Structure 1
Amino acid sequence: MVVPESQEKMYDPPNNLQRDAHVPDFDSYQAMYRKSLEDPEAFWKEIADEFFWKKPATGPMLQYNFDVSKGNIYVKCMEGAKTNMCYNVLDRHVREGNLGEKVAYYWEGNSPGHHATITYRQLLSHVCRCANVLKQMGVKKGDRVSIYLPMIPELIYAMLACARIGAVHSIVFAGFSSESLSERIMDAQSSVLITADGVYRGEKLINLKHISDEALEKCREKESCSVTTCLVVKHHSMRTISGTSCNKLQISWDSQRDVWWDEAMADSPEECEPEWLDAEDPLFILYTSGSTGKPKGVMHTVAGYLLYTSLTFKYVFDHHLDDVYWCTADIGWITGHSYIAYGPLANGATSVLFEGIPVHPHVGRFWEIIEKYKVSKFYTAPTAIRLLMKYGREPVQKYDLSSLRILGTVGEPINAEAWQWYYEAVGHGRCPVVDTYWQTETGGHVLTPLPAATPLKPGSATFPFFGVEPSILSEHGEELAGEAEGYLVFRRPWPGIMRTVYKNHERFENTYFKKFPGFYVTGDGVRRDKDGYYWITGRIDDMLNVSGHLMSTAEVEGALSLHPAVSEAAVVSRPHKVKGESLYCFVTLKNSIDFNKTLEDELKKLVREKIGPIATPDFIQNAPALPKTRSGKIMRRILRNIARNERDVGDLSTLADPKVVEELFSERSEAAA
């Protein structure tokens, strides 16, 4: 790996970061990266020495087998060691350090009037009280607890309480349907469900207790209801709205099963001895919802996940103790687990915990919060950036964003236009954008810039993190050198990689290791340019083979998004008698712009110019909105159905707005019918 010499537009790290950065320049990155691969034992031991171990490791830092032909796939980190995650992210700061009075979270509710400040000492007290309540309910080491809560402090208390007593938490995003919740409860066989009475998302009132009751009823119908207790948080917004009592929410109550959180916590002791766990004991299960098939229970374990989330948070965001950090994700997703909860807390960070949405009660809410708390490190999704771009720079300019030092993106590759807007309008050209690539399965960042060390190329995830060794393979499993495009794989583990699919190790091996023995297969396509930079091209099943040419849908989407009329684009394949596959494109236009033949021709011309004639779209359809999950992910499975005019689109329960599907069918291009 060499310092890039390309003439392509790059952005050098700002000098003000390099003065005190943990990784101050590209040479330092290269030296540390080489050490992490050549002497991983010493590299990871140095990180582990920062934490508390009740019993030291008896085995090496990492042991593994990635080759299915050599037996079962496994990864082990610090075998023989005993520790506790909760102790390391709370007690270590409060009892051993001097951070007890430091703010752990500034909680900002759905409405600006709802907020709270929680110190590390207060957080430890709440967590211990919750841990004692769970123990009183019969929860013990290894038991599973399902958590279905909005972004309120009780969500943090509950997950850390599980970690403290050795229970395995399974957090379910509080936007999922009762069907999705019941599936996850049944697979985990959870004994306790923690939920809330309700929540406002923007102006919309959601009855979480009703959804939870429906989920438990579905479990009973399938004779698989393991939940004996439902612990219910009385959400602050259900108690008062504008100072008056709220009676809009009607909830049912099962006195044999349901328990109010406040009542359970009232007399619970503030001291709770942690359960000392083996390094490879499970910490949590998090279910991924693929486009088809049963959700996979991705399982992460204690020691390796602690080391990796702590280190990636520290280096990728160049964390210092005076920072205020804000990740806008939901803890129901891996981003929230790793970079709202465990990674920041392991570093003694001060974070913003945000319950609301970016456009409520106004489109400047993000910027208002950054000004209010003087946020220095801001981490959000390209989806949110593109949404806010539609409103222009005026809402951003109303607020003082001078506290910002680093910007980050997560969830999908960011297109160049959104990157540029984020960099200039939000960061004022002085904040590097760390475009992070990782998965639920990886536990933490695997390809990412380091803000003071890496020259940036808009849209590139740049280089591997420490201990991560990527490779690019052809369809036939051949390793490709130099400039190349193909399957993104990794040839060795890092401490935070998943250990198995819960209760289904065979599925784990088949999904991630069978296609290319000896490698972890991400399922994503990647391109490496002549400077060694990595560019994620999208899921392999979102790559098209048009007349023998392998083509990335993300690349075509990026070209379409360059047109000033387009706010968002999504591209899928449609069968073609001659070419095999053709490009079917959906475009969402900016406010008050009409879709017409002239615009369609301009878009086709733009793609031809940016990529080449072979990439010319066959069909372009107006899409007033795209089918997205509640986390903002575009459901391309549904778009493929629409492109093919196949109206049996399957389960729509995870969509934020199912009505979008019918609207897209009605908008469907006459030429494609």
Structure 2
Amino acid sequence: MAQPVWYPNEEYTRGSHLETLMHRLGLGSYEELYRYSVEQPEAFFEATFEQMGLEWFRPYTRVLDTSQGPQWPQWFVGGQLNLAYNAVGRHAKTRPDALALIWEGEDSQVIRLSYGELEVSVARAANALKSLGIGKGDRVGIFLPMIPETAIAALAIARIGAIFIPIFSGYAAEAAATRLNDAEARLIVTADGFWRRGSKVRLLEAAREAAALSPSVERLLVVRRFGDVPLKEGEVAWEQVVDAQPKEAPYEPMDSMDPFMLIYTSGTTGKPKGTVHYHAGFPLKAAQDMAHCFDLRQGEILFWFTDMGWMMGPWAILGALTLGNTVFLYEGAPDFPDHGRLWSMVERHRITHLGISPTLVRALVPFGEEPIRRHDLSSLRMLGSTGEPWNLEPYLWFFHTVGKGRVPIINYSGGTEVGGGILGCVPFKPIKAMGFNTAVPGIRAAVLDAQGRPVVAEVGELAVLAPWPGQTKGFWRAPERYLGTYWSRFEGVWVHGDWAMVDEEGHWTIQGRSDDTLKVAGKRVGPAEYESAAVEHPAVKEAAAIGVPHEVKGEGVVVFVVLKPGHTPSQELARAITEQIVLRLGKALKPEKLLFVGDLPKTRNAKVMRRVIRAAFLGQNPGDLSALENPQAVEAIRALA
């Protein structure tokens, strides 16, 4: 059995959020605390959020109501609050000079905002949104890179009771429009561009195309990052409308379950799903996980290398600020102008908590230790990772080369629909390489066998057996799809879609996904999005996308294409179809390969069997093929491997 690589010590346990909570509850060990958290969840969450100093405009009358079933829990019933007030307003009153946000551009420009300054910026942006006709319940797309205005816009939208839709800044126009249309967004907040590897990325062009494809969008609010692009009718400059506003604005009182964000994630079929998150959910879960897993303490600085369009962007901003700490945002590439860029920022800003994906670590390993040795990383107290499973060599490189064997890696796994982590690590327990030393406090997690029975030391379905704050309030206007995705396997049980295992010592590992959802460099995307984009090419009859192991990204995508009669496979045609996919999804999601086949393996009811395609292509046993209408298609795919 694998031995831990890191062991707890007083530097990490003494004075921690967990130790303080244990003393508050009269509990003597982490094991007692975790057990208490799942056996008495209402008391646990109430104590946790009271310890954080959360403030309510109207007190709640009940912590949890499950009368509608675990699929539809009501948290903090009767209470009113506003996430922006808890993230900014309350800290601005008591600690106005404390550092809230640091931003560094790829061009080395730096902006620092105290809580007092951030409060004024968010108030002005809130007033500006109202002047543009945005009000409670309206949806606003945030199509921005990681710049200060990204955090300010999100907080301002929540402050007035509107709902924001974060959109990955690397998306092509059509992928962005899919999300804007589903949400019926009225406004897009975007930028004229941003720096990426020393070049200007003209984001405004994609935003304009997305708006043209989205009938509900009335105008664009444009951050002038460069100021060299004339604005058109229906577009207004951020500084023009925001800077002129009063520096005070009210906080809209929101019921605990009122939504503030629709963040889209892709399943295995159909269009992306809009996960609905509410004021007393996602922000509180993010802050709780940062406190209990990452132990982010006052005066510390969190930098998670991510984008606002992925869950970890809102998670980093809302979690760090709700705890009253500092969030660091970076606009550009992690290895520009050299391979020491990440480490130079850690040194320059004295970052204490650094989160990067296994994909990025794998990409940095070949450049060796020299870029790291050039920088003082002594400020680091926690390393974090999420997005995909590890393999051993890059994990140990991250632990020994970056963390010097003293800094724990807090591995963290959950999802957009979870609002944070299901599994994680806490610095109260030894940590084994690549896995998780606990289910996150408050999450009653289990590994279930095919009959829905909890198992130990066996691979099974990762499941959650009770509701938690942060759990999505369903999918936007698609409740049945939500129920079918997570609640249809076992009665009253959330089945997450990951294969997992927990050993006798309580150490968890993720074995991979039990559905077809792809994670490309930690970015979750559905095969249907690749397939839809490919089929738009006039030569394509049908397509199937699968994930395959990739030494850097963790998972790459291979697209199999069946051509229409009259079209012949060629390298030129493969490039053209690939370009069509990139046009729809963006360069970051470009498939690794595009292969032509005569047919796709299908069941008799015409369902494409991606599981069979993947197994055949990777030379694995495809399992039972009795349901296939055309088993000969499997051999053709195997021949391409």
TM-score (norm 2): 0.81
1:150-549 matched pairs, under 5 angstroms? 150-219=145-214, 225-235=215-225, 238-239=226-227, 250=229, 253-255=231-233, 257-290=234-267, 292-339=269-316, 341-451=317-427, 453-475=428-450, 477-541=451-515
Of the three residues 57, 81, 85, the one matched with 2:60 is 57
**Which residue identity does 2:118 align to in structure 1?**
L
- Name stretches of at least 5 consecutive residues in structure 1 with no aligned partner: 1-5, 68-72, 220-224, 240-246, 544-553, 555-582, 589-625, 627-631
The 1-side partners of 2:547 and 2:593 are apart by: 17
The 2-side partners of 1:307 and 1:200 are apart by: 32
Answer with 202-211 or 17-26: which moved more: 17-26
Determine if contact 2:560/2:594 at 8 Å carries over to the other structure.
no
Determine if contact 1:184/1:287 at 8 Å carries over to the other structure.
yes
Q: State the Cα distance separating 1:635 from its structure 2 match.
A: 4.2
The 2-side partners of 1:156 and 1:659 are apart by: 28
Q: State the Cα distance separating 1:659 from its structure 2 match.
A: 6.7
The 1-side partners of 2:340 and 2:267 are apart by: 33
Q: State the Cα distance separating 1:633 from its structure 2 match.
A: 7.0
Q: State the Cα distance separating 1:22 from its structure 2 match.
A: 2.6
Determine if contact 2:548/2:555 at 8 Å carries over to the other structure.
no
The 1-side partners of 2:326 and 2:372 are apart by: 24
The 2-side partners of 1:84 and 1:657 are apart by: 35
Q: State the Cα distance separating 1:62 from its structure 2 match.
A: 4.7
Answer with 523-532 or 280-289: which moved more: 523-532
Q: State the Cα distance separating 1:10 from its structure 2 match.
A: 4.0
Of the three residues 18, 22, 25, the one matched with 2:13 is 18
Determine if contact 1:363/1:391 at 8 Å carries over to the other structure.
yes
- SS state at 1:299 partner: strand
Of the three residues 81, 92, 108, the one matched with 1:94 is 92
**Which residue identity does 2:435 align to in structure 1?**
S
Q: State the Cα distance separating 1:634 from its structure 2 match.
A: 3.2
Q: State the Cα distance separating 1:277 from its structure 2 match.
A: 0.6
Q: State the Cα distance separating 1:660 from its structure 2 match.
A: 5.8
The 2-side partners of 1:490 and 1:134 are apart by: 39
- SS state at 1:74 partner: coil
Determine if contact 2:195/2:331 at 8 Å carries over to the other structure.
no
Say whether residues 1:656 and 2:622 are aligned partners: no
- SS state at 2:85 partner: helix
- Name stretches of at least 5 consecutive residues in structure 2 with no aligned partner: 522-545, 563-570, 597-616, 619-636
Write out per-residue CA displacement over residues 512-560 of structure 1, whole angstroms, 9 at most, x where no aligned residue: 10122211111111012232211001111369xxxxxxxxxx9xxxxxx
Structure 1 52/657 Cα, relative in aligned 2: closer, same or farther at 3 Å? Answer: closer
Aligned to 2:555: 634
Q: State the Cα distance separating 1:444 from its structure 2 match.
A: 1.2
Aligned to 1:603: none
Q: State the Cα distance separating 1:45 from its structure 2 match.
A: 1.6
The 1-side partners of 2:554 and 2:44 are apart by: 36
The 2-side partners of 1:138 and 1:633 are apart by: 44
- SS state at 2:97 partner: coil
Structure 1 63/11 Cα, relative in aligned 2: closer, same or farther at 3 Å? Answer: same
Determine if contact 2:18/2:291 at 8 Å carries over to the other structure.
no
Determine if contact 2:340/2:371 at 8 Å carries over to the other structure.
yes
Q: State the Cα distance separating 1:33 from its structure 2 match.
A: 1.1
The 1-side partners of 2:478 and 2:548 are apart by: 37
Q: State the Cα distance separating 1:480 from its structure 2 match.
A: 3.4
Q: State the Cα distance separating 1:205 from its structure 2 match.
A: 2.3
The 2-side partners of 1:584 and 1:435 are apart by: 22
The 2-side partners of 1:111 and 1:64 are apart by: 53
The 1-side partners of 2:212 and 2:64 are apart by: 45
Q: State the Cα distance separating 1:280 from its structure 2 match.
A: 0.6
**Which residue identity does 2:79 align to in structure 1?**
A
Indicate the percent of aligned positions where both proteins have the same amino acid: 32
- SS state at 1:169 partner: strand
Answer with 486-495 or 320-329: which moved more: 320-329
The 2-side partners of 1:33 and 1:335 are apart by: 24
- SS state at 2:430 partner: coil
The 1-side partners of 2:385 and 2:547 are apart by: 27
Determine if contact 1:66/1:513 at 8 Å carries over to the other structure.
no
Of the three residues 101, 104, 108, the one matched with 2:100 is 104
The 1-side partners of 2:312 and 2:446 are apart by: 24
Aligned to 1:244: none
1:36-47 matched pairs, under 5 angstroms? 36-47=37-48
Q: State the Cα distance separating 1:585 from its structure 2 match.
A: 6.7
The 2-side partners of 1:368 and 1:187 are apart by: 41
The 2-side partners of 1:218 and 1:352 are apart by: 33
**Which residue identity does 2:222 align to in structure 1?**
V
Structure 1 18/45 Cα, relative in aligned 2: closer, same or farther at 3 Å? Answer: closer
**Which residue identity does 2:276 align to in structure 1?**
M
Q: State the Cα distance separating 1:584 from its structure 2 match.
A: 10
The 2-side partners of 1:126 and 1:443 are apart by: 26
Structure 1 658/378 Cα, relative in aligned 2: closer, same or farther at 3 Å? Answer: closer
Q: State the Cα distance separating 1:138 from its structure 2 match.
A: 1.1
Determine if contact 2:170/2:586 at 8 Å carries over to the other structure.
no
**Alignment length (residue pairs):** 556
Determine if contact 1:14/1:431 at 8 Å carries over to the other structure.
no
Aligned to 1:145: 140
Q: State the Cα distance separating 1:387 from its structure 2 match.
A: 0.8
The 2-side partners of 1:483 and 1:639 are apart by: 36
The 2-side partners of 1:144 and 1:258 are apart by: 17
Aligned-residue Cα RMSD (Å) equals 2.9
Q: State the Cα distance separating 1:473 from its structure 2 match.
A: 1.9
Structure 1 519/170 Cα, relative in aligned 2: closer, same or farther at 3 Å? Answer: same
The 2-side partners of 1:584 and 1:118 are apart by: 41
Q: State the Cα distance separating 1:41 from its structure 2 match.
A: 1.9
Write out per-residue CA displacement over residues 77-118 of structure 1, whole angstroms, 9 at most, x where no aligned residue: 0111111111111111112x2x21111111110122x11111
Answer with 52-61 or 153-162: which moved more: 52-61
